């Protein structure tokens, strides 16, 4: 399927690892130009070099901590300086922690919400100004099924995800006035560094394969590339009628009627 992403300009937050890295790679394979950002400079630069070496689209890497409002403005300014426009924003950088309700202090809630909810909201607001001027653009929020399946052990991330599911639909209403599409994606368990970190909580390193198999009815966890493929499709004109939707990609793990 021809996606028509050649020469589009995409920002992928958290583009140095996991789902973000796979998504940035996918955009480059399609001939798009990409700005990736994350905190760790060494890994970010290594991924930028890897993507540039593919000899397709241009790559810009901007080290940034997206819990800081100023960092978000800097990332967007960098993108406009380098490429002159922003066609696609993939809000993906997030790292909310699991934990016992009584053990997690206010600081943990504030820190995780400042990246996952405020980071997404601020980035979308900053980028939307430019997309509205272009009267065109797509914003994809990579959220998570934790927002659909409330559990005591993942309240911080789950509640931020639920807020983002709402935000995605509300932002779609705003974007529609000027031709900007907004879509949310809810991944279930996807094998990235983040899931590896959670494994200890889920059942211990020793039983890793067993735990991974039990996480979905398909008997396996997802691959970052599988989420990236969905992001690419939703970013493309092939998905022009998909707007304000929150789409689940979880191997059937969510048993509920929604998502
Ligand atoms: N993997 C899953 O099973 C799963 C399931 C549901 C939802 N999700 C969501 O999908 C998204 C990607 O997850 P992933 O599994 O690919 O995570 P990951 O492998 O841990 O990668 C996270 C990326 O975000 C960056 N990042 C973290 N904190 C940041 C900050 N403060 N400022 C800027 N960048 C930051 C990381 O780089 P640095 O650490 O160097 O900054 C890295 O590039 C997250 O929003 C996550 O909540 C994942």
Q: What is the pLDDT of residues 62-85, one digit of tens each?
A: 999 999 999 999 999 999 999 999
- Please report which confidence band the pLDDT of residue 202 belongs to, taking 50, 70 and 90 as the band edges: low
Residue 249 CA to residue 215 CA, distance in Å, equals 13
Q: Indicate whether residue 144 lines ligand 1 (CB < 6 A).
A: yes
The yes-or-no verdict on residue 117 having pLDDT over 80 is yes
Q: Indicate whether residue 61 lines ligand 1 (CB < 6 A).
A: no
Q: Indicate whether residue 39 lines ligand 1 (CB < 6 A).
A: yes
Question: Closest Cα partner for 13 from 85, 67, 70?
Answer: 67
Q: In this structure, is residue 257 part of a structural domain?
A: no
Q: In this structure, is residue 71 part of a structural domain?
A: yes
**pLDDT at residue number 199:** 79
Count CA atoms closer than 13 A to 208's CA, side-chain side. Answer: 8
Q: What is the mean pLDDT of residues 86-109?
A: 97
Q: In this structure, is residue 175 part of a structural domain?
A: yes
Q: In this structure, is residue 184 part of a structural domain?
A: yes
Given the structure tokens 């955009």, which residue do they identify? 27
Q: What is the CATH number of the domain that holds 209?
A: 3.40.50.720
The yes-or-no verdict on residue 205 having pLDDT over 70 is no
69 Cα distance to chain centroid: 18
The yes-or-no verdict on residue 41 having pLDDT over 80 is yes
Q: In this structure, is residue 150 part of a structural domain?
A: yes
Q: In this structure, is residue 168 part of a structural domain?
A: yes
Q: What is the mean pLDDT of residues 158-175?
A: 98
For atom 40 of ligand 1, which residue has the closest CA? Answer: 40
For atom 13 of ligand 1, which residue has the closest CA? Answer: 19
Question: Closest Cα partner for 237 from 15, 32, 21, 12?
Answer: 32
Q: Are 117 and 160 in contact (CB under 8 A)?
A: yes
For atom 25 of ligand 1, which residue has the closest CA? Answer: 14
Residue 79 CA to residue 154 CA, distance in Å, equals 34
- Farthest-apart Cα atoms in the chain, separation: 53
Q: What is the mean pLDDT of residues 39-55?
A: 98
Range of weakest confidence among 97-111, 114-128, 191-205: 191-205
How many independent structural domains does the chain possess? 1
Residue 109 CA to residue 106 CA, distance in Å, equals 5
Domain that holds residue 213: 9-249
Q: In this structure, is residue 4 part of a structural domain?
A: no
Instruction: Quote the ligand 1 centre to 177 CA distance (angstroms).
Output: 31
Over pLDDT 90: what percentage of the chain?
91
**pLDDT at residue number 198:** 81
Instruction: Quote the ligand 1 centre to 187 CA distance (angstroms).
Output: 12
Q: In this structure, is residue 258 part of a structural domain?
A: no
- For the CA of 93, the nearest atom of ligand 1: 24
């Amino acid at each position: 399927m021809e996606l028509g992403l050649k020469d589009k300009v995409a920002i992928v937050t958290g583009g140095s690892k996991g789902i973000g890295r796979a998504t940035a790679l996918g955009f480059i394979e399609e001939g798009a130009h990409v700005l990736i950002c994350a905190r760790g400079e060494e890994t970010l630069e290594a991924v930028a070099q890897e993507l540039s070496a593919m000899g397709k689209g241009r790559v810009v890497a901007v080290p940034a901590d997206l819990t800081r409002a100023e960092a978000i403005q800097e990332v967007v300014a960098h993108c406009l300086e380098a490429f002159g426009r922003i066609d696609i924003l993939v809000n993906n950088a997030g790292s909310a922690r699991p934990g016992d309700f009584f053990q997690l202090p206010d600081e943990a809630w504030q820190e995780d919400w400042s990246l996952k909810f405020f980071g997404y909201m601020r980035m979308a607001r900053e980028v939307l100004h430019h997309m509205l001027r272009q009267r065109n653009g797509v914003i994809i929020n990579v959220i998570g099924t934790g927002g659909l399946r409330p559990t005591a052990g993942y309240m911080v991330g789950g509640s931020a995800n639920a807020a983002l599911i709402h935000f995605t639909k509300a932002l779609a209403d705003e974007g529609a006035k000027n031709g900007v599409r907004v879509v949310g994606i809810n991944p279930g368990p996807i094998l990235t560094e983040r899931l590896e970190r959670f494994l200890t909580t889920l059942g211990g390193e020793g039983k890793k394969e067993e735990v991974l198999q039990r996480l979905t009815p398909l008997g396996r966890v997802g691959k970052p590339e599988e989420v990236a493929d969905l992001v690419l499709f939703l970013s493309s004109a092939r998905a022009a009628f998909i707007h304000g939707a929150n789409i689940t990609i979880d191997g059937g793990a969510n048993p509920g009627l929604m998502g």
